[in-house]
Amino acid sequence: MTSPFPDLFGVLESTGARITRNADLTPLSRWKIGGRALALVEPSSAKEAASVMAVMSDRPEPLFIVGDASNVLFDSAGFEGVVLRISRAMSQMTISGTSAWAQAGIWMPLFTRRIGCEGLSGIEHTIGIPGTLGGLILMNGGSQRKGVGLNVKSVLCADEAGNLFTLDQEACGFAYRTSTLQTRRAVVLEADLEFEAGNPSEIRSEMISIMASRRAKFPKNLPNCGSTFLSDPAMYATVGAPGKAIEEAGLKGARCNGAQISPLHANFLVNTGGATSDDILYLIALIRQTVQERTGYFMDCEVRHVAPDGRIRPAHEPAEERWGAVDLTKVAGL
Ligand SMILES: Cc1cc2nc3c(=O)[nH]c(=O)nc-3n(C[C@H](O)[C@H](O)[C@H](O)COP(=O)(O)OP(=O)(O)OC[C@H]3O[C@@H](n4cnc5c(N)ncnc54)[C@H](O)[C@@H]3O)c2cc1C
């Protein structure tokens, strides 16, 4: 993929960040799905990341910020823009008393283990969740109906123009699997978190038990993006979790080419080999429509789809746009 506008790589190189031209997004994505982007940019400091935001604010190409792409569906047709990746090149952390500071690209399993080893309690529920701290904060991710936001004191971000600003916990507006960061065009760079002093061996036992339960429930060998649909409290009270609703609709194991509704956990869509973004979107449309017909509830996606033109939407929106009335003849395995 090449840019129709001049000087894109010149301005990106002026930021000091690592640049890959015509980057293949497939290996970055947990689903192993994606075409090529004009450029992949990987800063190693808050300053470099803020510079990327600043130079891109004057550019016509879209910018997409990503961590480990464990909650993202790249389009197989690619992305006609720049992917700013906050990941391992920004993964320093320090612990002082019951507080921790970390760069947003740190790998969550490592962060959670280090916090636990220090005898700090509060984020045991995040053990086993892949992705970066920045991605988890933006999604207010977690498990056991908790979110990482409970332990976030403040977050350092850069806005579209590259200006640094700090948000405290209240300003982050954490709620179930959401935060106000999702509606700001800003990049999360660093965070300060606060924990409670606990007993290291009790914390370790709790983490081992959570990991064992995750291993038994979730598919691990095939590429996937975790839970595809969000749990809606009203639906949960009457019908149950999305996985149960999908299973009761008889959709477990259904396939569209290389994409499959996991036979192990129906809220996970797996890439059994060669799946495209359309195959995944098709299964999303099939599930949403079938479950709505049976239960009356429309389930929304947690996973975000990145369109080639830069539109970022929860994946059920492009799924419905493309596959409004689902044709069951495309589905195998029912
Ligand atoms: C096997 C599996 C199990 C999972 N289990 C869970 C679970 O139990 N609970 C849970 O909550 N989630 C779960 N997830 C989803 C996912 O791991 C989390 O949402 C994760 O925190 C996302 O982090 P990421 O770095 O991969 O973000 P990405 O997928 O890269 O990005 C997610 C969103 O955050 C934005 N973003 C990422 N980094 C930044 C940044 N630095 N600044 C600004 N925006 C940013 C992206 O633009 C995107 O909108 C699971 C995923 C998988 C694959």
User: Which atom of ligand 1 lies nearest, measured to the CA of 148?
Assistant: 11
Question: Last residue of some domain: 67, 86, 105?
Answer: 86
Of the residues 42, 80, 190, 302, only one is catalytic, namely 302
Strands 63-66 and 79-85: parallel
Q: 205 with 100, same domain?
A: yes
Distance CA 231, CA 219 (A): 19
Residue 54 falls in which region: left (phi positive, over 0), alpha (psi -120 to 50) or beta: alpha
Q: What is the pLDDT of residue 2?
A: 64
Q: What is the tens place of the pLDDT at every residue in 29-70?
A: 999 999 999 999 999 999 999 999 999 999 999 999 999 999
Asked if the model's pLDDT at residue 90 lies above 70, the reply is yes
Determine, yes or no, domain membership for 220: no
Q: 103 with 76, same domain?
A: no
Determine, yes or no, domain membership for 17: yes
User: Which atom of ligand 1 lies nearest, measured to the CA of 30?
Assistant: 53
Determine, yes or no, domain membership for 221: no
The answer to whether residues 234 and 281 touch, using CB atoms and an 8 Å cutoff, is: no
User: Which atom of ligand 1 lies nearest, measured to the CA of 304?
Assistant: 49
| CATH code of residue 67 | 3.30.43.10
Question: Which residue's C-alpha comes closest to atom 28 of ligand 1?
Answer: 69
Q: What is the tens place of the pLDDT at every residue in 248-306?
A: 999 999 999 999 999 999 999 999 999 999 999 999 999 999 999 999 999 999 899 99
Pocket test of ligand 1: the residue of 139, 178, 269, 303 to mutate, having most ligand atoms within 8 Å of its CB, is 139
Q: How many domains does the chain have?
A: 3
Determine, yes or no, domain membership for 292: yes
Q: 194 with 97, same domain?
A: yes
Q: 206 with 145, same domain?
A: yes
71 Cα–ligand 1 center, Å:
5
| 134 Cβ closer than 6 Å to some ligand 1 atom | yes
Beta strands in the chain (DSSP E): 18-24, 36-42, 63-66, 72-74, 79-85, 93-96, 99-103, 120-121, 152-158, 164-168, 187-194, 196-197, 255-256, 259-261, 269-271, 304-306, 312-314
Q: 106 with 182, same domain?
A: yes
Helix (H, G, I), strand (E, B) or coil at 19: strand
Q: Which DSSP state fits 173?
A: T
Distance CA 74, CA 240 (A): 29
> What range defines the domain where residue 39 resides?
8-86
| CATH code of residue 132 | 3.30.465.10
Respond yes or no: is residue 202 known to be catalytic: no
Determine, yes or no, domain membership for 259: yes
Respond yes or no: is residue 76 known to be catalytic: no
| 142 Cβ closer than 6 Å to some ligand 1 atom | yes
Q: How many CB atoms lie within 10 A of CB 319?
A: 27
Respond yes or no: is residue 145 known to be catalytic: no
